[in-house]
Amino acid sequence: MKNTVIELQEKANNLLELAEQMDSRIKWLKEDASSEYFHLTSQEYKDKRNNTIDTCERGSKRLWNAYLQVLTQIKLEL
Protein backbone atom coordinates (compact mmCIF):
# COMPACT_ATOMS: atom_id res chain seq x y z
CA MET A 1 0.00 0.00 0.00
CA LYS A 2 2.81 2.43 0.87
CA ASN A 3 4.49 1.92 -2.51
CA THR A 4 1.18 2.54 -4.28
CA VAL A 5 0.69 5.80 -2.41
CA ILE A 6 4.23 6.93 -3.24
CA GLU A 7 3.71 6.14 -6.92
CA LEU A 8 0.40 8.01 -6.90
CA GLN A 9 2.03 11.00 -5.20
CA GLU A 10 4.73 11.10 -7.88
CA LYS A 11 2.06 10.90 -10.57
CA ALA A 12 0.10 13.71 -8.88
CA ASN A 13 3.21 15.88 -8.67
CA ASN A 14 3.92 15.34 -12.38
CA LEU A 15 0.34 16.16 -13.32
CA LEU A 16 0.40 19.29 -11.16
CA GLU A 17 3.60 20.47 -12.81
CA LEU A 18 2.19 19.85 -16.29
CA ALA A 19 -1.08 21.62 -15.46
CA GLU A 20 0.77 24.64 -14.10
CA GLN A 21 3.01 24.75 -17.18
CA MET A 22 -0.05 24.59 -19.43
CA ASP A 23 -1.70 27.42 -17.51
CA SER A 24 1.47 29.50 -17.90
CA ARG A 25 1.45 28.84 -21.62
CA ILE A 26 -2.20 29.90 -21.85
CA LYS A 27 -1.40 33.12 -19.98
CA TRP A 28 1.51 33.85 -22.31
CA LEU A 29 -0.57 33.12 -25.43
CA LYS A 30 -3.39 35.38 -24.23
CA GLU A 31 -0.97 38.19 -23.39
CA ASP A 32 0.60 37.85 -26.82
CA ALA A 33 -2.83 37.85 -28.46
CA SER A 34 -3.76 41.06 -26.65
CA SER A 35 -0.63 42.90 -27.76
CA GLU A 36 -0.90 45.74 -30.24
CA TYR A 37 1.06 43.77 -32.85
CA PHE A 38 -1.40 40.88 -32.79
CA HIS A 39 -4.09 43.16 -34.25
CA LEU A 40 -1.87 43.86 -37.23
CA THR A 41 -1.53 40.19 -38.19
CA SER A 42 -3.60 38.26 -40.70
CA GLN A 43 -6.94 36.71 -39.81
CA GLU A 44 -5.50 33.27 -40.54
CA TYR A 45 -2.81 33.80 -37.89
CA LYS A 46 -5.39 35.09 -35.40
CA ASP A 47 -7.59 32.05 -35.99
CA LYS A 48 -4.62 29.72 -35.57
CA ARG A 49 -3.58 31.44 -32.31
CA ASN A 50 -7.15 31.31 -30.98
CA ASN A 51 -7.36 27.61 -31.85
CA THR A 52 -4.08 27.04 -30.00
CA ILE A 53 -5.43 28.84 -26.93
CA ASP A 54 -8.61 26.77 -27.07
CA THR A 55 -6.64 23.53 -27.37
CA CYS A 56 -4.40 24.51 -24.44
CA GLU A 57 -7.42 25.40 -22.30
CA ARG A 58 -8.99 22.02 -22.97
CA GLY A 59 -5.67 20.32 -22.22
CA SER A 60 -5.35 22.25 -18.98
CA LYS A 61 -8.81 21.18 -17.91
CA ARG A 62 -7.94 17.53 -18.60
CA LEU A 63 -4.67 17.79 -16.67
CA TRP A 64 -6.36 19.37 -13.64
CA ASN A 65 -9.11 16.73 -13.71
CA ALA A 66 -6.51 13.94 -13.89
CA TYR A 67 -4.65 15.54 -10.98
CA LEU A 68 -7.83 15.60 -8.88
CA GLN A 69 -8.55 11.98 -9.76
CA VAL A 70 -5.11 10.91 -8.59
CA LEU A 71 -5.55 12.89 -5.36
CA THR A 72 -8.82 11.02 -4.85
CA GLN A 73 -7.04 7.71 -5.43
CA ILE A 74 -4.43 8.65 -2.83
CA LYS A 75 -7.13 9.49 -0.33
CA LEU A 76 -8.84 6.16 -0.95
CA GLU A 77 -5.55 4.31 -0.44
CA LEU A 78 -4.99 5.93 2.95
pLDDT, mean of each 10-residue run, the chain (78 residues): 91 98 96 78 87 97 98 93
Q: How many CB atoms lie within 10 A of CB 33?
A: 15
Q: Is 70 exposed, middle or buried (0-12, 13-18, 19+ CB in 10 A)?
A: buried
Amino acid 20: pLDDT: 98
Residue spans of the domains in the chain: they are 10-77
